[in-house]
Structure 1
């Protein structure tokens, strides 16, 4: 009896067999698993928190609005560094919240990102295969025929709350978690763009790009829609030693309850709070970067212009009063164009690169004085 298999069915069968073979091979390998809830994390001040991945310490829950607290549970800018000789790395984790947004893919919202320190001592992106479900998994294949110990940096999700995460490597390799306090961080207080919208993956958020470009640690306090320069958050931030403070909140002041006048008042207040404890630490005022349709819809252009005018007014007043450690990053220096936006509000990966480049140029000038 001859069984005839159509070409299309044959290829489907072949793919299924290959998948089963690969799965079987993976399952036959013995892995050692590490609970990443228990390891040291960069990008957060307190290591002992109820959720091991959150940005704020537990004491801030009663101090800030519920919306801010909820966003602080998203580990934007939090990283884990480790070394291994493994040629395969598997990461599995669960999150609370949406996996993706209409304007931002799952790889950016709830995905992770892995970087390898290469021979030039630069961080290089590592491609992974991924699956998003109740448990999210990433599988990284590496060429490590040399058997040398390599250093990796893992970026955690930008917009999802991590509820548990494990990393697995073959038992013959294992991993060494890196822990180093390093140099003083730059502290960034901002909006959804600071938190990472709308990067296609965590490593492309401008704050994370800036960290790799400068080698300076970053503490990301971007809160989507809630970067309001609030006293309770400033009170916490000024308790931290910083290489510089960046105030990048103007985009969230484009609303009736806030506006240019309130932005001006809160910028003056913010500097007073910082200067009371850190009289000489550089402070950067950042302009609103604009909207993607501002050239064809004048109300949005006028809104941006008014906010940036308030920003410049506060900066110039404080400069005139003798504060010589204030700096301004202008809309023109950031240089976003219509093609640099996903939805007219949030930058693409290309827009994020422009943000990071503009900040890099300014902080290089500041720190090289």
Structure 2
């Protein structure tokens, strides 16, 4: 308004203030040190950096994929502590830069408290998005008791360093571990990658990770999941897989390329993992489809190609290959489930995770039952993954 001084809204409302730097002494520990456990990085023990693909891959990858592999989407830090205060000190690879995505989603860290299946969100880091480094409080002044912590790292940014700050007299203990020693691997597009969740915990792979007692590995490469054989070889090197989800249709350069790449990707993966379930997801419905019949026809054709390939694999004897129609992922009315007509909002991601939950549970239970019967000949219904 003319003649009236505008005040900074972030200063006017204390709940919108950025930062939250510690005002007292804290014990700072690198998240790469024991007893912290970092998940979602299959090559971390070998390379020692926050990177989702190996630093020196056995198969050459495109520069775009190489760059995106440094984004920490799906990466989680798990531990237990009785500290009443919890802070993070983050050094990013670069600054916030995405017009259609919240800075908290691209560059932020969010925090959940509780065991898997009972995790509750408490806070997201607050920071100056013009800077590459920040320090922020995730909680303070809680009662002193042991809590299980999960930190979700930035979706669309690399992390050079991450330190966790707790009260000096507090205990930091190891994450109890996953009841099921298997990994869910998700290879896909920007939607798998996490665009455009408002904070890391709302990307659908991270939502799913709170539903199942396994490690999730996000191999979404925004705009660059083309189903190339080099990625199939690298993904096949990840140990202890429990399920592989292929959701890369939208990034294929052409329908013909999809037709050629899918059977080859499955073949390469099957050479190393003959029994691991593979779930092929077709593309979600886009907002523009309500007005563009050609877009609908293209999606339906690509869906048919994927369904027919899965049927062919199953007819040939591979009953561990499955198909799910991505048009169902956002529910009956997807129009308000995206931020830009393509990438899901938090609402869209919640719908995707809710829809996939029973599908994934059924596939994982088959794996767990098979392993249990092989190990001791018994199958207890209590071992089932809840759907």
TM over 0.5: yes
Matched with 2:191 is: 193
TM-superposed CA distance for 1:190, in Å, is 0.6
Matched with 2:28 is: 33
Matched with 1:136 is: 134
Whether the 8 Å CA contact 2:117–2:210 is kept in 1: the answer is: no
1:233-264, Cα deviation, whole Å (9 max, x unpaired): 111111223101111100112xxxx3222112
Q: Highest CA radius of gyration, 1 or 2? A: 1
Whether the 8 Å CA contact 2:85–2:142 is kept in 1: the answer is: no
1:303 and 2:301 matched: no
2:209 to 191, 208, 211: 211
1:115 and 2:112 matched: yes
Q: Which runs of 5+ in 2 are unaligned?
A: 367-387
Q: Secondary structure at the match of 1:247?
A: strand
Q: Secondary structure at the match of 1:214?
A: coil
1:264 and 2:264 matched: no
Q: 1:267 to 1:165 in 2, by over 3 A?
A: same
1:301-340, Cα deviation, whole Å (9 max, x unpaired): 2221222121112112212222211111102331351111
- Decide which moves more: 196-205 or 160-169: 160-169
Q: Secondary structure at the match of 1:361?
A: helix
1:72-129, Cα deviation, whole Å (9 max, x unpaired): 00111111111111111111112123414111100000111111006x9611101245
Q: 1:282 to 1:314 in 2, by over 3 A?
A: same
- Decide which moves more: 357-366 or 58-67: 58-67
Matched with 2:70 is: 73
Q: Which runs of 5+ in 1 are unaligned?
A: 1-7
After TM superposition, the structure 1 = structure 2 runs for residues 104-253 of structure 1, keeping only pairs within 5 Å, are: 104-117=101-114, 122-128=118-124, 130-132=126-128, 133-142=131-140, 144-145=142-143, 147-178=144-175, 180=177, 183-240=181-238, 241-253=240-252
TM-superposed CA distance for 1:61, in Å, is 8.4
1:354 to 351, 356, 364: 351
Task: State how far apart, in whole Å, the 2-side matches of 1:279 and 1:128 are.
Answer: 41
Whether the 8 Å CA contact 1:259–1:307 is kept in 2: the answer is: no
Task: State how far apart, in whole Å, the 2-side matches of 1:62 and 1:271 are.
Answer: 17
Task: State how far apart, in whole Å, the 1-side matches of 2:20 and 2:214 are.
Answer: 43
Q: Secondary structure at the match of 2:126?
A: strand
1:327 to 322, 326, 329: 322
Q: 1:26 to 1:95 in 2, by over 3 A?
A: closer
Q: 1:247 to 1:129 in 2, by over 3 A?
A: closer
Q: 1:283 to 1:160 in 2, by over 3 A?
A: same
Q: 1:242 to 1:346 in 2, by over 3 A?
A: same
Whether the 8 Å CA contact 1:67–1:226 is kept in 2: the answer is: yes
Q: Secondary structure at the match of 1:59?
A: coil
1:289 and 2:262 matched: no
Task: State how far apart, in whole Å, the 1-side matches of 2:141 and 2:43 are.
Answer: 35
Q: 1:343 to 1:49 in 2, by over 3 A?
A: farther
TM-superposed CA distance for 1:52, in Å, is 1.7
Whether the 8 Å CA contact 2:20–2:135 is kept in 1: the answer is: no
Q: Secondary structure at the match of 1:67?
A: helix
Whether the 8 Å CA contact 1:246–1:286 is kept in 2: the answer is: yes
**What number of residue pairs does the alignment pair up?**
348
Whether the 8 Å CA contact 2:20–2:137 is kept in 1: the answer is: no
Task: State how far apart, in whole Å, the 1-side matches of 2:126 and 2:323 are.
Answer: 40
Q: 1:157 to 1:179 in 2, by over 3 A?
A: farther
Q: Secondary structure at the match of 1:58?
A: coil
Q: 1:96 to 1:24 in 2, by over 3 A?
A: closer
Whether the 8 Å CA contact 1:116–1:151 is kept in 2: the answer is: yes
Task: State how far apart, in whole Å, the 2-side matches of 1:316 and 1:65 are.
Answer: 31
Task: State how far apart, in whole Å, the 2-side matches of 1:53 and 1:189 are.
Answer: 18
Task: State how far apart, in whole Å, the 2-side matches of 1:180 and 1:206 are.
Answer: 22
Whether the 8 Å CA contact 1:38–1:52 is kept in 2: the answer is: no
1:343 and 2:329 matched: no
Matched with 2:381 is: none
